[in-house]
DNA sequence: TTCAGTTGTCTAGATTAATAGACAACTACC
DNA sequence: GGTAGTTGTCTATTAATCTAGACAACTGAA
C-alpha cells in the first residue's frame, strides 16, 4: 500500500470501491500480518488521499465480505484471509493440490444431469456430437470458504453411473476409480480471467466486480482417451494457479 | 448480452462502466459478428434497463479504447477486437506461440539494467543472493496492438552480454542462441489475475479497472539449470493462455 | 426529395458519492 | 479515574452520476 498510488477519480469505479480492493490485496500480500489489524481509518484516509468517511465505506464493504471486523475504540481487525496456490500438472487433483495449505478441503455437488453433448464438449471429449454426456456442477471449499465452482462433463457411454458415485463419494478421483478407471492425467488446461458473473458471485460470495480465473481442462486416461472436460472458476483473490510442465 | 442480467446499482461501479465492460466481452464473444456493429443506443438502453445517455457514456468509453466507432446517423461500428490464445508448454516462445493468429508479432525493449539479485529472484534462478542479474523489461505487440508487458531476469554471471544481444536482435530465443544456448525449456508457469496497475494500463493502453493475467515463469537449459525467470502481464481482454502438459 | 432510423447536443432535475467538521462512545493503558 | 487513541454517528455541502425529454444533424434507402 502506501501513498505512492493515489486513487483514480472519474474512472467509473467509486473511491470506496477502489480502496476496498486495494486493502484486500494488501491483506492478501500479508502487509498487516505483524499487527493483525489495519491502520486507523484517518491514517488510511491520508494515505489514499480521501476523506475518512470514504475509507469507512470501504471498510464497511470489507466487513460485509467477512474479511475485516471493526471494533469501536479499538481498531479494525483482519479476520479472514489466505491466498492458496493450486498446482496444475499431469496429475492435477483439487483436494490433493491444496495439501497442507488448509485443514479442510471439501466439494459440494450442486447439480447433475445427462444431456446430448454440445458440439464444443463433444470435440473436447472426442465423441460424436449429440452422444450423451453427464454434466456435474460443484463448488469447492477450503476451510469452509468457497474458492471455486466448476462444471464437469463425462462421456455417458463410458461412465454411465459416475454421477451416482460422485454423490456417494464426493471425489472425482474416487468416482473414477469406482467406475473402473484407477488413474487419469491432465492433458491440457486453458486459463483466462474475467469479471465474475452473478451466479459465480453468489456461489463464491464475491463482491460485484470480483475477478475469476477460469481454467478449462481436459483429462485423459493413460491411453490418451479423454474421460472428462471441465470448466472451473476460481476466485482470483483467493487462488493462484501454478503450472508445472 | 440480453436483458436477463440487469446492471447492479450501488455496487461501487458506475452503470456506464458495467455496461462498457459487458459490451466489451459480448464483442469478444463474437456476439455482433454478423452485423459488425452494435444495436442502436436506445435498444441497448432498454436491454440494460438504463437511460440512453448512460449507454452513450459507455460507448464513448469504448470508443476511447478504440474498440468501437460511432457514426452519426449510421450506428456504432466494431473496429477492433481479436482474442489471442497463447500456448504454454515445455517450449513456450512468445512470437512462435501466436503463430498464424496474427500477421505481425513484435516486442519492444523498454529498459535493461544489471543489479544484485533480490532474494526471490535469486531463489528462482538458483544463484547466490546478491549475485548480479540482468533485468530486461519489454512490451509485446500483436498486429501493432499492445498485448503484454514483461520483466525478465537472467543470471549475469552466465549471460553477461544478453542485453546487448537482445537490443541487437530483439528475440530472447535468438539472444540466448547468440550467448551459446541453443535451446531451453519452460520449467514452471504460475498464473494469477488481478486489476492492472497504472504502469500496465499505460503500456498496454488499458482502461482503469482492466484485468491482467500475470504469468511468472522459470526457464531452464536442458540440464535443468535455470537460465531465466520472468513475469509477464497479458491484457485479459486480448489474451488467454493454453497450458499443454 | 422525403422519411425512417440513428447519433449528437442541450437543458433540467433527481439520486448517489465524496468531503468537511463536530462530537459521542468505546478500549486500553497509565 | 483520567486520558490518548480509535470507531460510530450526525448534519451540511459539494461534486459526480443517472434520468428525462426535446430536438438538431446526419445516413441510407425508398
B179-226 residue pLDDT tens = 999 999 999 888 888 888 878 888 887 766 678 999 999 999 999 999
Nucleotide nearest to B56 (CA to C1'): C7
Least CA distance to A192: which residue of chain B?
B240
Q: Is A156 domain-assigned?
A: yes
Q: Is A5 domain-assigned?
A: no
Q: With 60 as the cut, is the pLDDT of residue A111 above it? A: yes
**One domain for residues A46 and A96:** no
- pLDDT on residue B117: 94
Judged by CB atoms closer than 8 Å, whether chains meet at B236 and A197 is answered as no
Q: With 70 as the cut, is the pLDDT of residue A82 above it? A: no
The DSSP 8-state label assigned to residue A97 in this structure reads H
Residue ranges with strand state E in chain A: 37-38, 68-71, 75-78, 84-88, 105-116, 132-142, 145-155, 185-195, 211-220, 226-235, 239-244
Judged by CB atoms closer than 8 Å, whether chains meet at B208 and A236 is answered as no
- pLDDT on residue B209: 65
Task: Evaluate the CA torsion angle A154, B188, B180, B163 in order and state its sign.
Answer: positive
Average pLDDT, chain B: 86
Give the confidence band of A209 by pLDDT, cuts at 50, 70, 90: low
Q: With 60 as the cut, is the pLDDT of residue B111 above it? A: yes
- pLDDT on residue A127: 94
Give the confidence band of A81 by pLDDT, cuts at 50, 70, 90: low
CB atoms within 10 A of CB A162: 24
Q: Which residue has the higher pLDDT, B238 or A140?
A: A140
Among the ranges A19-23, A59-63, A215-219, B189-193, which has the highest mean pLDDT value? A215-219
Reported ipTM exceeds the 0.85 cut = no
Q: Is A129 domain-assigned?
A: yes
Cα three-residue angle B31-B99-B103, rounded to 5 degrees: 75
**One domain for residues B115 and B208:** yes
Q: With 60 as the cut, is the pLDDT of residue A4 above it? A: no
Q: Is A6 domain-assigned?
A: no
The DSSP 8-state label assigned to residue A99 in this structure reads G
B95 in contact with A, Cβ within 8 Å: no
**One domain for residues A56 and A88:** no
Does residue B59 lie within 7 Å of nucleic acid chain C, judged by its CB?
A: yes
Among B168, B171, B132, CA closest to B153: B132
* CATH for B147: 3.40.1410.10
Does residue A73 lie within 7 Å of nucleic acid chain C, judged by its CB?
A: yes
C-alpha cell at A115: 444431456
Mean pLDDT of A143-159: 91
Give the confidence band of B78 by pLDDT, cuts at 50, 70, 90: confident
| DSSP state string for A169-183 | H--HHHHHHHTT---
What does the longest C-alpha to C-alpha distance in chain A come to?
66
Q: With 90 as the cut, is the pLDDT of residue A115 above it? A: yes
Q: With 60 as the cut, is the pLDDT of residue A3 above it? A: no
Q: Number of structural domains, chain B?
A: 2
Domain containing residue A31? 15-78
B137 conformational bin, left if phi > 0, alpha if psi -120 to 50, beta if neither: beta
Give the confidence band of B100 by pLDDT, cuts at 50, 70, 90: low
- pLDDT on residue A5: 63
**Which positions on chain C have an atom < 7 Å from some protein CB?**
4-11, 16-21, 25-28
Final residue of a domain: which of B78, B97, B124?
B78
**One domain for residues A42 and A160:** no
A4 in contact with B, Cβ within 8 Å: no
**One domain for residues A74 and A142:** no
Burial of A124 (0-12, 13-18, 19+ CB in 10 A): buried
Give the confidence band of A2 by pLDDT, cuts at 50, 70, 90: very low
- pLDDT on residue B165: 92
**One domain for residues B114 and B162:** yes
In B, residues 140-199, which contact A (CB 8 Å cutoff)? 185-195, 197-198
Q: Is B3 domain-assigned?
A: no
Range with lowest mean pLDDT among A14-28, B61-75, B110-124, B197-211: B197-211
Q: Which residues contact A223 (CB under 8 A, 6 or more apart)?
A: none
Judged by CB atoms closer than 8 Å, whether chains meet at A88 and B243 is answered as yes
Mean pLDDT of A197-202: 83
Amino acid at each position: 500500500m502506501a501513498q505512492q498510488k493515489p486513487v483514480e477519480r472519474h474512472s467509473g469505479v467509486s473511491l470506496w470501491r477502489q480502496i476496498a480492493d486495494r486493502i484486500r490485496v494488501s491483506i492478501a500480500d500479508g502487509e498487516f500480518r505483524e499487527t493483525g489489524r489495519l491502520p486507523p481509518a484517518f491514517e488510511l484516509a491520508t494515505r489514499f488521499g480521501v476523506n475518512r468517511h470514504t475509507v469507512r465505506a470501504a471498510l464497511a464493504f470489507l466487513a460485509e465480505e467477512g474479511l475485516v471486523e471493526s471494533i469501536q475504540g479499538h481498531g479494525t481487525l483482519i479476520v479472514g484471509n489466505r491466498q492458496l496456490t493450486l498446482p496444475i500438472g499431469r496429475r492435477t487433483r483439487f483436494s490433493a493440490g491444496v495439501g497442507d495449505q488448509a485443514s479442510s478441503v471439501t466439494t459440494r455437488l450442486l447439480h447433475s444431469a445427462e444431456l446430448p453433448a454440445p458440439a464444443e464438449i463433444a470435440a473436447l471429449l472426442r465423441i460424436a456430437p449429440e452422444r450423451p454426456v453427464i454434466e456435474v456442477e460443484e463448488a469447492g471449499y477450503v476451510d469452509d470458504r468457497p474458492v471455486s465452482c466448476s462444471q464437469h462433463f463425462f462421456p455417458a457411454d463410458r461412465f454411465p453411473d459416475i454421477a451416482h458415485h460422485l454423490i456417494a463419494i464426493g471425489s472425482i478421483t474416487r468416482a473414477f476409480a469406482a467406475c473402473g478407471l484407477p488413474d487419469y492425467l491432465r492433458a491440457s488446461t486453458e486459463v483466462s480471467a474475467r469479471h465474475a458473473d452473478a451466479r459465480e458471485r453468489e456461489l463464491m460470495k464475491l463482491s460485484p466486480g470480483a475477478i475469476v480465473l477460469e481454467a478449462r481442462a481436459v483429462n485423459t486416461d493413460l491411453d490418451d482417451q479423454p474421460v472428462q472436460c471441465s470448466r472451473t472458476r476460481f476466485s482470483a483473490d483467493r487462488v493462484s494457479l501454478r503450472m508445472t510442465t
